[in-house]
């Protein structure tokens, strides 16, 4: 019983670590994507100012 709980806990920790790493990586790429999109939009707006 204790041994089983221990192994399941260990597996859960491993899955949590993997999930956390995956989450960080995906959020980082998401942030990068948003950042470049905003930068490109700002640059295009600066290059082509909207005339009133």
Predicted TM-score of the model (pTM): 0.52
- pLDDT of the residue at 4: 78
Q: Is residue 32 scored above 90 in pLDDT? A: yes
CA distances to 35, 38, 39, 40 from 46, in Å: 16, 12, 10, 10
First to last CA, the chain: 74
Q: Is residue 27 scored above 70 in pLDDT? A: yes
CA–CA gap between residue 11 and residue 23 (Å, rounded): 18
């Amino acid at each position: 019983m204790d041994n089983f709980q221990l192994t399941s806990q260990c597996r859960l920790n491993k899955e949590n670590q993997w999930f956390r790493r995956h989450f960080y990586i995906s959020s980082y790429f998401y942030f990068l994507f948003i950042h470049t999109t905003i930068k490109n939009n700002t640059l295009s707006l600066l290059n082509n100012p909207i005339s009133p």
